[in-house]
Amino acid sequence: MKLMTYNIRFDNPEDGGGKWRWAQRREHIIGNILRQAPDILAVQEVLAEPLLQLKQALSAYRFVGVAREDGIAAGEFNGLFYLPTKYALIAQGHQWIAETPDWPTKFPNAGSIRVFQWARLRDRATGKVFTAVATHLDEQSKAAREFGVMQILRYFGPQLDAGEPLVLAGDFNSEPDDGAYQLMTGTLKDAQLIAQNRVMPYTGTFQDNGAFYTHSDLLTSRIDYWFVTENVTVTDYEIDATATPDGSYASDHFPVIINATL
């Protein structure tokens, strides 16, 4: 199966001096997704109107996910698109990354309210059952990121103990030397490190200088990931740095794609 994670960048009025907002970037974001044609797509920073437009453009997919501010429509959505022709949805759910996980609350000293979304799916061709998870960890608080990883691993402990395959993606706001990454890789495998083939035009997935265009001194940091259980084989890993015809990037994050087998 082909899996893709993509932080599409929220609609920021200041991007590109107001000339590179969602309205200008939308066709390129959608084009990147359709060109890759993933079976499952994890998305971050999706506001309500962009989500509606993504659903219209990705009509072959179904979406599960909630808005982080109220669980309905306020703030950024974090979720999963999947192909119902390939996968049957068994169950889905979410928790807020907080001490009160069933309510839209913020972890102490975190920059934002954060949430993780999951879908338990059955592969229609093979009958195999697995869980896909999407999240977006906090950018300000190391403690909130580490709490989020521990909460996710604890929540899926029964599936992990039972040997059920799990794939987990998102913007972790964590480089490999960060505690959250190290906690995650204590249980799950970093798909990049175990992939048989890698396509990496940049070592990182996030453009640190936020310029949205190709240039020789582009700085990147690696904060977007796919993590998998040991019973998932990763054949291919790709950081997709495709630019628009005029050399612009559709988001400040590059999509990360893997081909995997349960």
Each residue's pLDDT tens digit, 35-51? 999 999 999 999 999 99
Helix (H, G, I), strand (E, B) or coil at 24: helix
**Tens of pLDDT, residues 227-255:** 999 999 999 999 999 999 999 999 999 99
**Residue 68 contacts residue 110 (beta carbons within 8 Å):** no
Mean pLDDT of the chain: 97
* Angular region, 226: left φ>0, alpha ψ -120 to 50, beta rest: beta
Rounded mean pLDDT of 210-214? 82
Q: pLDDT band for 216, please (50, 70, 90 cuts).
A: confident
Neighbours of 237 (CB within 10 A): 22
Q: pLDDT band for 107, please (50, 70, 90 cuts).
A: very high
Instruction: State the pLDDT at residue 213.
Output: 86
Could you tell me which residues are beta bridge partners of residue 169? 134, 226
**Residue 182 contacts residue 174 (beta carbons within 8 Å):** no
Question: At residue 84, does pLDDT exceed 80?
Answer: yes
Q: Which residues contact 169 (CB under 8 A, 6 or more apart)?
A: 3, 5, 42, 132, 133, 134, 135, 224, 225, 226, 227, 256
Instruction: State the pLDDT at residue 217.
Output: 84
Please report how the helices 22-36 and 48-57 are oriented relative to each other, as an axis angle in degrees rounded to 10: 40
Instruction: State the pLDDT at residue 58.
Output: 98
Instruction: State the pLDDT at residue 211.
Output: 78
**Residue 41 contacts residue 4 (beta carbons within 8 Å):** yes
| Helix H or strand E encompassing 133 | strand 129-136
Rounded mean pLDDT of 67-81? 96
Q: Is 101 exposed, middle or buried (0-12, 13-18, 19+ CB in 10 A)?
A: middle
Q: pLDDT band for 209, please (50, 70, 90 cuts).
A: confident
Residue 147 has phi, psi (to 5 degrees) of -60, -40
Rounded mean pLDDT of 185-213? 94
Residue in the block written with tokens 């996980």: 101
Could you tell me which residues are beta bridge partners of residue 111? none
- 66 is written with which tokens? 């909630």
